[in-house]
Amino acid sequence: MLRLEWIGRDTVCVRLTGAWRLHERLPSPNEVEQALAGNRELRRIALDASGVATWDTGLVAFVLQVLRYAERRNLLVDRDALPRGVNRLIALARAVPEKLLDGPDERPAWVTRLGLGALAISDATLASLKFIGEAALAVGRCARGRATFRSIDLAAVIQECGPSALPIVSLISFLVGLILAFMGAVQLRSFGAQVYVADLVAIATAREMGCLMTGIIMAGRTGAAFAAQLGTMRVTEEIDALVTIGIRPMEFLVLPRMIALVLMMPLLTLYADVLAMLGGALVGVAVLDIDATQYLERTTHALTIRHVAIGVVKGGVFGVLVALSGCLRGMQAGRSAAAVGLAATSAVVTAIVLIVVLEGIFAVVLDALAL
């Protein structure tokens, strides 16, 4: 609690009593400021805490604010009747602060922000190109048998992005096959051509959906994991430790991940194709009353090695994209927990955007080549 008492015309005594602790409700220094605001004869404030029973830094904060107010108005403050600890803490808090580093700046003008944004984009593009270049060099060294990485790491990554991904790939592909068959059936039925559902499902999954869905699953599952792993290794200085003993992180960390995904993605794509066709067959046989042998026959008729090969090649390429974007974002991550989260997010976004863009390019090129 606090009370103001006037001593003469130019001095006010602020008497503090009771408990001044953070857990209690603390009076605001504004009360003092408001009470003294209009008074022009005031020269001195005397603080008296002799009636304070218990105190903690709540009292110190109050006194500091009164001191600041007094400084603004050029008033003298008498602090003799404050506990010794309070005065010592005030001295501590007012000790010359550390020289400020380059701190959070004012928000720059929009032209500056535009310019900085453009520079950041060009920097990021250059960094990505450099990363891709280094990755290519690492692949070259690996082909000549000169790359340094541990085969056990490679095996672990293969396990992680191959067999461990089977359940989720199975589920998604099967459902996608199911959906394709349903969608196709609704349209084809109006021509009485529902038996061609088998052709539709087979070609669509083999050429497009199998590799696309697998790519997106792997971007979310494995690409994010790569970014988080490498980002955390940056935070804990593990990558610096590799560099100082002369090991290229690009070979030791990125290369096994790339190899693993390039090996696993085509296999996962094939597996996804089979599962999606099974899903389509389930709809065909159970819902559309197509004979099972007939469905199989239509499927084998529609499916050529060319369709399957296109899907598998695309799968491999998507594997490179997922691995590169995951590793790139991980290696670029800042050194904090929040930055690792950002890296994981941005790895997934980058990979999915690249996959969809490349899918479009493939479509145009394959059409031009009449494949």
Partner 1 sequence: MPSPSETPASAAIVVRDLDVGYGRVVVQRDLRFEVRRGTVFIIMGGSGCGKSSVLRAMIGLLPPLRGEVLVGGVSLWQAEEREREAVARRMGVLYQGGALWSGMTLAENVELPLAQFTDLAAGQRREMAALKLAFVGLAGFEDFYPAQLSGGMQKRAGLARAMALDPDILFLDEPTAGLDPVSSRRFDDLILELRESLGGTVVVVTHELASIFAIGDEAVFLDAERHTIVARGNPKTLLAESTDAAVRAFLTRGEPAAAY
Q: Which is nearer to partner 1, 47 or 250 (CB)?
A: 47
85 binds partner 1 (CB under 8 A): yes
Q: Alpha-carbon distance 11 to 26, whole Å? A: 24
111 binds partner 1 (CB under 8 A): no
Encoded tokens for 6:
């006037």
Out of 92, 245, 305, 369, the residue judged to bind partner 1 by CB under 8 A: 92
Q: CB of 104: closest distance to partner 1 in angstroms? A: 5
Torsion sign (Cα): 367, 369, 370, 371: negative
Backbone angles phi, psi at 12, to 5 degrees: -120, 135
The stretch near partner 1 (CB under 8 A) out of 80-88, 107-115, 282-290, 304-312 is: 80-88
254 binds partner 1 (CB under 8 A): no
Q: Alpha-carbon distance 324 to 138, whole Å? A: 12
Q: CB of 28: closest distance to partner 1 in angstroms? A: 7
146 binds partner 1 (CB under 8 A): no
Contacts of 122 (CB under 8 A, 6+ apart): none
Q: Which is nearer to partner 1, 60 or 147 (CB)?
A: 60
Encoded tokens for 253:
């960390």
Place of tokens 């979310």: 220
Alpha carbon distance, N-terminus to C-terminus of the chain: 86
107 binds partner 1 (CB under 8 A): no
Contact in structure between 218 and 318 (CB atoms under 8 Å)? yes
Encoded tokens for 77:
């403050």
Out of 33, 56, 199, 359, the residue judged to bind partner 1 by CB under 8 A: 56
Q: Which is nearer to partner 1, 218 or 227 (CB)?
A: 227
Q: Which is nearer to partner 1, 91 or 361 (CB)?
A: 91
The stretch near partner 1 (CB under 8 A) out of 95-103, 107-115, 133-141, 150-158 is: 95-103
Contact in structure between 116 and 108 (CB atoms under 8 Å)? yes
The stretch near partner 1 (CB under 8 A) out of 93-101, 178-186, 226-234, 314-322 is: 93-101
DSSP H helices in the chain: 29-36, 57-72, 84-93, 110-143, 151-161, 166-189, 197-204, 210-218, 224-235, 238-244, 249, 255-286, 292-302, 305-332, 337-368
Out of 101, 109, 305, 364, the residue judged to bind partner 1 by CB under 8 A: 101
Contact in structure between 139 and 258 (CB atoms under 8 Å)? yes
192 binds partner 1 (CB under 8 A): no
Q: Which is nearer to partner 1, 30 or 50 (CB)?
A: 30
95 binds partner 1 (CB under 8 A): yes
Q: CB of 59: closest distance to partner 1 in angstroms? A: 10
Q: Which is nearer to partner 1, 257 or 329 (CB)?
A: 329
In the range 306-365, which residues lie near partner 1 by CB under 8 A? 334-339
98 binds partner 1 (CB under 8 A): yes
Give the torsion through C-alpha atoms of 361, 367, 369, 370, to 10 deg. Answer: 160
DSSP 38-67: T-SS--EEEEEEEEEEEE-HHHHHHHHHHH
- Which residues contact partner 1 (rule: CB under 8 A)? 21-23, 25-26, 28, 56-58, 60-61, 64-65, 84-86, 88-89, 92-95, 97-98, 100-101, 103-104, 334-339
